Amino acid sequence: MTGWNASDIPDQSGRTAVVTGANSGIGYVTARELARRGARVVLACRSVERGTRALEELRSDVPSAVAEFRRLDLGDLSSVREFAASYDRDGHGEGLDLLINNAGVMALPYRQTADGFETQFGVNHLGHFALTGLLLPRLLRTPGARIVTVSSAVHVLANIDMGDLNSARSYRRWIAYARSKSANLLFVHELARRLAARGSGIVAAAAHPGYAETNLQAAAPKMEGRKIVERVMRLGNRVVAQPAATGALPTLYAATARGVRPDSFTGPRVLGWQGAPGKSWRARWTLNDTASERLWSASVGLTGVEYGALRR
Ligand SMILES: NC(=O)c1ccc[n+]([C@@H]2O[C@H](COP(=O)([O-])OP(=O)(O)OC[C@H]3O[C@@H](n4cnc5c(N)ncnc54)[C@H](OP(=O)(O)O)[C@@H]3O)[C@@H](O)[C@H]2O)c1
């Protein structure tokens, strides 16, 4: 893995990738680099305006790109269902090679999704849980398929609370973010276990970007109209964070490099913060079979997405 970078991405011709949150930051770079190596990419974004603009930018960055925008709001299960149904209706050949569960929100003030879930848990975990389950039949039909879910080193701040998944009893924004990112890792753990039990060759893996300059850090202050904090966040990013292009490398590695193991967690090598991709440290609780099974069952109950092919 030494010094692995975007030029090491193997040829992706003939492969199709769905990237959530592809209009910005890590998601945009991931889609762009996959397209540069020949993949057909689907930019799955919640805003028509931002998604369309990203598609134009991608086509200008990579004139040979085969890319399209499709609307997906992970904070609304009806939108997730519509995305999967329209994707099926429009054909798109038989398979799906790469699903990149990248979209995310961080440390927002308390809000609920359209379905009444706390937003960070709802978008970061439940939305992706539902999307993956609905696209799974296609992934299962595709030899060499991979599912990469983007978590964060910040997951170490908090394990999920099975008694209060939606932070109904108490809400602390950073703890809720950390819990949603622990949920991402527990999801990957359980998904990998269930795929292995079925004898599937799909690789379900996790990645994180360290600290990368994107819109993530300024989103909450922007939402709250705290302009000075927003400016400070953006300035701090410029000084301390690595570029989004470097932050996307762990995702691109997990999605395309040879020998990536199921349930692995790839992040930047330098203190988990910056640099080329390497094996990342993860909290023990994200490898707990009982917890991952319980979260899986709760997520099936909350989303109504059954994962029939992987039922125990
Ligand atoms: N940047 C970092 O330092 C860092 C560190 C650790 C982990 N991460 C993780 O990296 C991933 C990508 O974040 P980023 O840093 O690239 O931030 P970003 O630039 O803010 O990108 C986040 C993306 O998620 C999308 N999104 C938010 N809510 C959504 C929803 N309800 N439905 C669909 N898409 C939605 C955003 O869309 P809009 O543009 O419409 O809001 C945007 O495209 C996240 O999972 C984040 O937790 C980032």
Distance, in Å, from the CA atom of 234 to the CA atom of 152, rounded to the nearest integer, reads 19
SS3 252: helix
Catalytic, 177? Answer yes
pLDDT of residue 289: 98
Nearest atom within ligand 1 for CA of residue 79: 32
pTM of the model: 0.97
Length of the chain: 312
Distance, in Å, from the CA atom of 105 to the CA atom of 16, rounded to the nearest integer, reads 25
Does 29 map to a domain? Answer: yes
128 within ligand 1 shell (Cβ under 6 A): no
Instruction: Give 105 Cα–ligand 1 centroid separation in angstroms.
Output: 5
123 within ligand 1 shell (Cβ under 6 A): yes
Low-confidence spans in the chain with pLDDT less than 50: none
pLDDT of residue 112: 97
For residue 20, what are the domain limits? 9-210+246-300
Nearest atom within ligand 1 for CA of residue 73: 32
Does 241 map to a domain? Answer: no
Nearest to 155 by CA among 80, 99, 104: 104
Does 2 map to a domain? Answer: no
267 within ligand 1 shell (Cβ under 6 A): no
Does 41 map to a domain? Answer: yes
Tokens of 176: 């809720």
Distance, in Å, from the CA atom of 26 to the CA atom of 208, rounded to the nearest integer, reads 10
**From 28, 87, 177, 307, active-site residue:** 177
Nearest to 270 by CA among 2, 22, 76, 50: 2
Token pair 């893995």 in the structure block, residue? 1
* Dihedral Cα 26, 29, 32, 37, nearest 10 deg: -100
Instruction: Give 311 Cα–ligand 1 centroid separation in angstroms.
Output: 30
Distance, in Å, from the CA atom of 208 to the CA atom of 211, rounded to the nearest integer, reads 9
119 within ligand 1 shell (Cβ under 6 A): no
pLDDT of residue 143: 95
How many structural domains comprise the chain?
Answer: 1
SS3 107: coil
Distance, in Å, from the CA atom of 29 to the CA atom of 17, rounded to the nearest integer, reads 13
215 within ligand 1 shell (Cβ under 6 A): yes
51 within ligand 1 shell (Cβ under 6 A): no
SS3 67: strand
Instruction: Give 153 Cα–ligand 1 centroid separation in angstroms.
Output: 15
pLDDT of residue 90: 83
Does 217 map to a domain? Answer: no
Nearest atom within ligand 1 for CA of residue 72: 33
pLDDT of residue 272: 77
pLDDT of residue 93: 67
Does 221 map to a domain? Answer: no
Distance, in Å, from the CA atom of 261 to the CA atom of 254, rounded to the nearest integer, reads 9
pLDDT of residue 292: 98
Does 236 map to a domain? Answer: no
We report the CATH number of the domain holding residue 292 as 3.40.50.720
Does 239 map to a domain? Answer: no
